[in-house]
Structure 1
Amino acid sequence: MSMYSSSANAFRIPGTDPVAMEECTALSCEVGTAATEPTVVVAAVVVGLAAFLAFAHVRDAVDAGRGERRRVLAERDAFEEFADRVDALDPAPTGSTAGGFDGSMVAIRAVDSVGSDGDVRLRRVLAAYRDTVMSVPHYREEYDETIPESLAAELGPDTAAALASNGTLSAAAQSALVGRSRQAAEARSSLADAIGEEIDALRAFESDLSGVDRRRRRLLEHLDGVSGSGADAAIDVWERLEDLERECDEIAAERQESLADPPMTPGPAVDVEGDRAFYDYLYAPTDGPRHPVLAQVSELAERIRADRDRVASRLAGGR
């Protein structure tokens, strides 16, 4: 990303030709229009200088992304462990059960009823699922599903149905459980990578916006220290603030482009749809804006416009 590179303390000194000073140039006329109360003398332009932007929207979004990435990685590890534990089990002898994943949906509920009376292999599968996938710290808060509901949602409805109708762990069921669990882990690994990419993007945008805000404050600090009318310096600051506002527009346009090309498209397990499903998945559950970068750009641009108005008022007031 391009950063605005110019010394904040190097100000252009316009010519002092009397005739030129009497002309209503495009800049001076625009400044006069921007001053909402031309007769007001602004003692200090830096009224809002101390209250620099904290970029809370972007930082909250980074925190939300980190939290979600931790949860996704915990689920990935849980599915990998579940797959390993199921893979290590001895399946039922060939021919002792019905093969394949062709049980009916009605049979899903029967999985829950398999207790001490059920086949030891199936009990071990269910215990492994409880101890891994259903034991991640956020499981109850985010899912709160029964074993058959979770198996159906994560590994396919035929998974729970087959386990229930077979009544044990067949070789075919074991192979499918292991394969689908590893697929679930891989999907979460990809999602974690995409979230990490978004976090990096957020940090980059925060760095760009912080650079703009830092130069904004330096311009105002310089102008506040100018003695006398400081008209020349004020005009130069006004122009440079306009440049910073244009830079905000460029950052917003860059973010709009990235929104149209997300790191990934969430799978059907994520209950969001549309072109920006990835960002809805990340930010819809939060208290902040759906588009934190754009909201932050808008806030900074508004601050810059307010600063330009103060500079214009200072010029109009003769300070």
Structure 2
Amino acid sequence: MRNQDRASRLLGLSLLVFVVGIGDTSVWFPFSVTQGLPELTTATLTASGYLTDAKSVTETERTRVATERDAFRRFARLVESISVSEDTHTGPLVFAGGGDSGTEHLCTVRNAYRETVMNVPHFEDEYDENLRESLTLEFDDHLATALLDGQQFSPLLKNTVLVQATAARESREKLLDGIDDELTSLENARKRLREHDRAVERAMKPRRQLRTRSVPTLREYDAILREDEDRCEQLLADRQHEIHRENRSYSRSSKPALQQYLYDALDVTYPVLATVTERIQDIRGQRRLIRETMTNQR
């Protein structure tokens, strides 16, 4: 996540397509899943650390994006306060003329950028850019050149800086909306998985040794697990819908999806889907063990 460029971080997050298995059909996602365990236990029916890690990195990224948004807001206010003479050149962004006051104003703009955008706590760790690189990536090469190499801070240049700073702030506000939706989705998934855990634990805690159980009792266990499997598959479908909804407004196909952007440094790109898929695979392994036990008792 740290080494992605600005455009990938802030714009064009692509839609995703997932294959969700129903009933006894397979569930496929682009990551490995654990196999069914050799004996029936509810210890594996707890949400994996994927969700904890996902929440942590998402909250950290939200703080950073909000800090950057506020920095661009402060930068724009500082630029707005810089006066320009109305009789200066109003044509294309210019580099000559303007005298001492023009270069002084440009220096003021550059200092304002350093003190706001480049002064956020995570700037060095996440970007490690010099002034020219940062201005070019946040705005464009032409504006960066005008601010660094020009001689005049014209009304046109001032307005262009304000427009670009506002766009940078708004892009982060848009990203924050997506991050907030993702945090809500993570918490909802965690709650639903905990509810599943409690339900299965209550039903199966007194009945751990399968070989000593009758066939009717084993059928009852299988029915409990089948209900949990159905609930997990519904959670997968709901999460798929949420991912599509979260990414629909970031639909440029050349850019990463929101989850890819957030979870690039984690072991899995889609932590909720990975967690629930592991759960389903575990349940199916346990159900196979129950059916084998019933077969052996006949």
Settle same-fold status: TM greater than 0.5.
yes
Aligned pairs for 1:101-120 within 5 A: 101-102=92-93, 119-120=103-104
Match of 2:279 among 274, 288, 300: 300
> What TM-score does the superposition give when structure 1 sets the normalisation length?
0.71
Q: 1:265 to 1:229 in 2, by over 3 A?
A: closer
Distance, in Å, in 2 between the alignment partners of 1:68 and 1:241 is 37
Match of 2:138 in 1: 154
- Structure 1: which amino acid aligns with 2:271? P
Deviations 1:9-33 (A, max 9, x none): xxxxxxxxxxxxxxxxxxxxxxxxx
Match of 1:90 in 2: 83
Distance, in Å, in 2 between the alignment partners of 1:79 and 1:301 is 45
- Structure 2: which amino acid aligns with 1:300? R
Q: Secondary structure at the match of 2:207?
A: helix
Match of 2:61 in 1: 68
- Structure 1: which amino acid aligns with 2:283? I
Matched, 1:99 2:90: yes
Aligned pairs for 1:138-153 within 5 A: 138-153=122-137
Task: Tell me how far 1:100 sits from its aligned partner.
Answer: 4.6
Match of 1:234 in 2: 218
Aligned pairs for 1:126-141 within 5 A: 126-141=110-125
Paired residues of 2:69 and 2:168 also in contact (CA < 8 A): yes
Matched, 1:207 2:191: yes
Distance, in Å, in 2 between the alignment partners of 1:165 and 1:247 is 62
Where does structure 2 lack aligned partners over 5 or more consecutive residues?
A: 1-37
Match of 2:106 in 1: 122
- Structure 2: which amino acid aligns with 1:262? E
> What TM-score does the superposition give when structure 2 sets the normalisation length?
0.75
Q: 1:228 to 1:162 in 2, by over 3 A?
A: closer
Match of 2:158 among 174, 181, 189: 174
Deviations 1:82-130 (A, max 9, x none): 0111111122x2444x435545xxx8xxxxxxxx998221111111100
- Structure 2: which amino acid aligns with 1:297? V
Match of 1:277 among 257, 270, 273: 257
Match of 2:27 in 1: none
Task: Tell me how far 1:231 sits from its aligned partner.
Answer: 3.4
Paired residues of 1:101 and 1:162 also in contact (CA < 8 A): no
Q: 1:279 to 1:85 in 2, by over 3 A?
A: same
Count of aligned residue pairs for this structure pair:
258
Q: 1:228 to 1:142 in 2, by over 3 A?
A: closer
Distance, in Å, in 2 between the alignment partners of 1:209 and 1:233 is 25
Paired residues of 1:248 and 1:301 also in contact (CA < 8 A): yes
Larger radius of gyration: 1
- Structure 2: which amino acid aligns with 1:237? Y
Q: Which moved more, 1:157-166 or 1:235-244?
A: 157-166
Task: Tell me how far 1:286 sits from its aligned partner.
Answer: 1.6
Q: Secondary structure at the match of 1:223?
A: coil
- Structure 2: which amino acid aligns with 1:60? D
Match of 2:270 in 1: 291
- Structure 1: which amino acid aligns with 2:57? A
- Structure 2: which amino acid aligns with 1:70? T
More contact order relative to length (CA 8 Å, sep ≥ 6): 2
Q: Secondary structure at the match of 2:164?
A: helix
Q: Secondary structure at the match of 1:90?
A: coil
Distance, in Å, in 2 between the alignment partners of 1:81 and 1:267 is 30
Task: Tell me how far 1:267 sits from its aligned partner.
Answer: 9.1
Paired residues of 1:46 and 1:220 also in contact (CA < 8 A): no
Q: 1:267 to 1:162 in 2, by over 3 A?
A: farther
RMSD: 3.1
Distance, in Å, in 2 between the alignment partners of 1:218 and 1:225 is 15
Deviations 1:234-281 (A, max 9, x none): 21111221121122222212222333332454498xxx835x622221
- Structure 2: which amino acid aligns with 1:157? D
Q: Which moved more, 1:238-247 or 1:214-223?
A: 214-223
